[in-house]
């Protein structure tokens, strides 16, 4: 039976028009005819195994990538070896926007688990978005959203204490899982304590201690990478109730 399944079925299944992520991704706000045009643009898909690079800092920039399955981290590395995780990306999110400015990528994108991305050749995206107003606008929104997100991280790194940072991180993850149809209160983190720490500007021991404290206070149940949020308002209170 398997051999009679036509290849085209697979093709259709992976097209934007059939993708269950289209409400989160580049096709958002496009009408069906426009999504079909986008389908033609998204030439290929690429599978990336856990711990492998989608691109590296210095690679020449040719395409942006929409995450179809799995998740990634992006990081920047200094000459002296220090590195900073600049973000964690989930399905439907777009990677590679950093490369537009100099035609070279300025960070590394690494899969946190076996993953798959849609390759969107950037020249053709610019071409199509000159024709399709809604695509142009959605693309601009995605770039702007990235800027706003980065400002939030700057706020977090610049003026929050360790437990506030972790609370903000957990609430953000919860919200993003929710947007993807998963439980808001129970999820599996794909990154290590060290990676969370790098993202939050903390050492892994501090992250671990903050998790333990949250657990002691009944805010979350932590079992390694499996997180259950028990008291969302409590976490939010940690964020706002800055007693200084």
The residues of the shown chain that bind a copy of itself, judged by CB under 8 A, are 76, 78-80, 82-84, 86, 97-102, 106-107, 126, 129-131, 133, 136-137, 140-148, 150-155, 157-160, 198-201, 240-242
Distance CA 238, CA 236 (A): 5
Tokens (6 digits) for 175? 């919200």
> Residue 194, interface with DNA (CB under 7 A)?
yes
> Residue 47, interface with DNA (CB under 7 A)?
no
Nearest approach in angstroms of CB 100 to DNA is 31
- Of positions 45, 53, 137, 203, contacts DNA by CB under 7 A: 203
Q: Pairing state of beta strands 186-188 and 63-69?
A: unpaired
> Residue 161, interface with DNA (CB under 7 A)?
yes
> What region, left, alpha or beta, does residue 218 occupy, with left being phi > 0 and alpha being psi -120 to 50 degrees?
left
CB 229 within 8 A of CB 214: no
- The CA–CA distances, whole Å, from 106 to 55, 77, 128, 219 equal 10, 10, 25, 38
> Residue 205, interface with DNA (CB under 7 A)?
yes
Nearest approach in angstroms of CB 13 to a copy of itself is 30
CB of 226 or CB of 242, closer to a copy of itself:
242
> Residue 222, interface with DNA (CB under 7 A)?
yes
> Residue 115, interface with DNA (CB under 7 A)?
no
Residue 180 touches which of DNA, a copy of itself, none (Cβ within 5-8 Å per kind): none
Residue 211 touches which of DNA, a copy of itself, none (Cβ within 5-8 Å per kind): DNA
- Of positions 137, 209, 221, 230, contacts DNA by CB under 7 A: 209
> Residue 212, interface with DNA (CB under 7 A)?
yes
CB-count burial class (<10 Å; 0-12, 13-18, 19+) for 29: middle
Binding site for DNA (CB under 7 A): 161-163, 192-194, 201-209, 211-212, 222-225, 244
């Amino acid at each position: 039976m398997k051999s009679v399944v036509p290849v085209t079925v697979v093709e259709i299944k992976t097209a934007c028009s059939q993708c269950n992520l289209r409400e989160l991704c580049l096709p958002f706000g496009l009408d069906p005819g426009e999504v079909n045009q986008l389908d033609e643009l998204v030439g290929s898909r690429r599978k990336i195994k856990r711990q492998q690079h989608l691109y590296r800092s210095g690679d020449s920039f040719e395409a942006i990538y929409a995450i179809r399955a799995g998740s990634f981290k992006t990081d920047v590395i200094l000459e002296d070896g220090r590195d900073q995780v600049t973000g964690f990306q989930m399905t439907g999110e777009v990677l590679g926007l950093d490369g537009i400015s100099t035609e070279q990528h300025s960070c590394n994108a690494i899969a946190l688990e076996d993953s798959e991305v849609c390759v969107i050749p950037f020249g053709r995206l610019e071409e199509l978005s000159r024709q399709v107003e809604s695509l142009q606008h959605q693309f601009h929104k995605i770039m702007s959203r990235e800027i706003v997100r980065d400002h939030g991280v700057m706020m977090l790194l610049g003026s929050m204490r360790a437990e506030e940072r972790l609370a903000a991180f957990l609430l953000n993850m919860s919200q993003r899982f929710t947007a993807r149809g998963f439980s808001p209160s129970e999820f599996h983190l794909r990154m290590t304590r060290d990676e969370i720490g790098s993202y939050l500007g903390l050492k892994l021991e501090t992250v671990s201690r903050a998790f333990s404290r949250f657990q002691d206070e009944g805010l979350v149940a932590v079992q390694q990478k499996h997180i259950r949020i028990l008291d969302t308002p409590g976490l939010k209170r940690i964020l706002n109730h800055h007693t200084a």
